[in-house]
Structure 1
Amino acid sequence: MFSACRQPKKYHDAITVAAVNNKGALADILSFQQGLNASFRDPEISPLPDRFRMRFDGLEFFEPDTSFRVWARLERTPDALPFQMQTSTDEQAAERVYGILSFNLKGIPYRLEVYQSPDLVLEAGYEDYLFLPFSDLTNGKGTYEGGRYIDLRIPTGDSILLDFNKAYNPYCAYNPKYSCPLVPEINRMEVEIPAGVRAFKK
């Protein structure tokens, strides 16, 4: 039986005021890193096999870089129907395109799909959870070859903060027992994003 590739709920925190200004950006990023490391040390929720967790000293992160924090315009797609997203195993993950995120990064415009799980939305605490899988040109060269994820919350308006410093690896990067959604072709970015979690060295 494969486990779902979902991170602990506490990494789905809503964007706070501290997260949207550069003065509080560094503290916000470092808090995310500390929290992620704490979850990897916790035997109840860590994706690491015991042989790795017992000697776990912390994940490797890129240095925080606020140039990889960008505002995106959210175009909702309320008529989108659920579909089966391919995963790292023979299983499939039910997802729905919640909307399109439009933004500029390093002078290049991008449009990425952001997803909502019809099943997860029924769970307490996940009603407004959004899932952004993406890949970039660092994959296989410093970051996990299969791409990374960012957790988001549905905003009240049509703007949402994307902080690539909070990009993390799917759990299947650490343990093959997990079944993790693959990055759709439309979310493949032709740019290097040296921010967030680096590739895991076993």
Structure 2
Amino acid sequence: MKKQSIFILIVVVVIIVSLLYSFMGGQDQTAYIEQIQKERDEKEQFMRTSEESPFASNKNAFQGLKYYPVDVRYKITADLKPVQNKEVVLLRTNDGKEQRYVKYAYAEFDLDGFHNKLLILEMIDMGPFRGKLFLAFGDETSARETYGAGRYLDVTKVQGSNTITLDFNMAYNPYCAYADEFSCPLPPAENLLKVAIRAGEKVYHN
């Protein structure tokens, strides 16, 4: 086979492989967006109908939740840096109280030209959430496009892993964003980011 024919064959194979990867990536992205939308729809239904909803006492007052469009750029794999000295942290709440946590790890990642570092806490008070991780953060959208006292992000322990997934498309408001009678911990000072996280839930009250 002539060299020119071999070269043409290689080019054709590379194009086919690239198209297949592109198609598969598009499918994965579509499935991801659909899953996020499904979870948002389920939360909307919970808010409207559940007796555990923050709107349970006045369901007619619920106006619907607002979100940024799903953006896969905000599903981030961050470096996980465990905290060696597990000191206790007291977080102030919106109603002037305090809640106790233990420093668990730092999640570090780069976004929009900034190196970001978020403190992940572990719940230590007795109850069903003892041992669970807690992450509250503020960013450049806070008090403008999103709730001024910060948002929350659920994260999961993966034993032995040196990375952790931060999916900001799943960022959500604490209950005190909807009604003043709820007590919600505020983000620690080191979790006030210098970037705008335009993902997840927006401010409820315009």
1:188 to 186, 189, 192: 192
**Partners of 2:49 and 2:156 in 1: CA distance:** 25
Greater RCO, CA 8 A, separation 6+: 1
Is 2:132 aligned against 1:129?
Answer: yes
**Partners of 1:28 and 1:97 in 2: CA distance:** 31
Deviation at 1:78, TM superposition (A): 4.4
Distance 1:128 1:93, change over 3 A: closer
Is 2:143 aligned against 1:171?
Answer: no
Structure number with bigger Rg: 2
Report if aligned partners of 1:82, 1:95 keep a CA contact under 8 Å in 2: yes
Is 2:101 aligned against 1:95?
Answer: yes
Report if aligned partners of 1:94, 1:118 keep a CA contact under 8 Å in 2: yes
Moved more, 166-175 or 42-51: 42-51
Identical-residue share of aligned pairs (%): 30
Report if aligned partners of 2:123, 2:130 keep a CA contact under 8 Å in 1: no
Q: 2:81 corresponds to which letter in structure 1?
A: E
Deviation at 1:39, TM superposition (A): 2.2
Is 2:109 aligned against 1:106?
Answer: no
**Partners of 2:165 and 2:78 in 1: CA distance:** 6
Structure holding more strand per residue: 1
- SS of residue in 2 equivalent to 1:96: strand
1:161 to 149, 152, 165: 165
Deviation at 1:158, TM superposition (A): 1.6
Deviation at 1:129, TM superposition (A): 2.5
**Partners of 2:84 and 2:41 in 1: CA distance:** 36
**Partners of 2:63 and 2:150 in 1: CA distance:** 23
**Partners of 1:144 and 1:39 in 2: CA distance:** 20
Runs of 4+ in 1 over 6 A off after TM superposition: none
Q: CA RMSD for the aligned pairs? A: 2.0
How does the TM-score come out when normalised to structure 2? 0.79
CA offsets per residue over residues 44-94 of structure 1, 9 Å max, x none? 21112633x225353111111111111011111243122321111122111
Report if aligned partners of 1:70, 1:104 keep a CA contact under 8 Å in 2: no
2:40 to 19, 33, 56: 33
Deviation at 1:23, TM superposition (A): 5.0
- SS of residue in 2 equivalent to 1:112: strand
Please show how residues 48-67 of structure 1 align to structure 2 within 5 Å. 48=55, 50-51=57-58, 53-56=59-62, 58-67=64-73
The number of equivalent residue pairs is 178
Structure holding more helix per residue: 2
How does the TM-score come out when normalised to structure 1? 0.80
Q: 2:90 corresponds to which letter in structure 1?
A: Q
The corresponding residue for 1:198 is 202
Structure 1: gaps (5+ residues): 1-20
Report if aligned partners of 2:77, 2:109 keep a CA contact under 8 Å in 1: yes
Report if aligned partners of 2:153, 2:168 keep a CA contact under 8 Å in 1: yes
The corresponding residue for 2:141 is 138
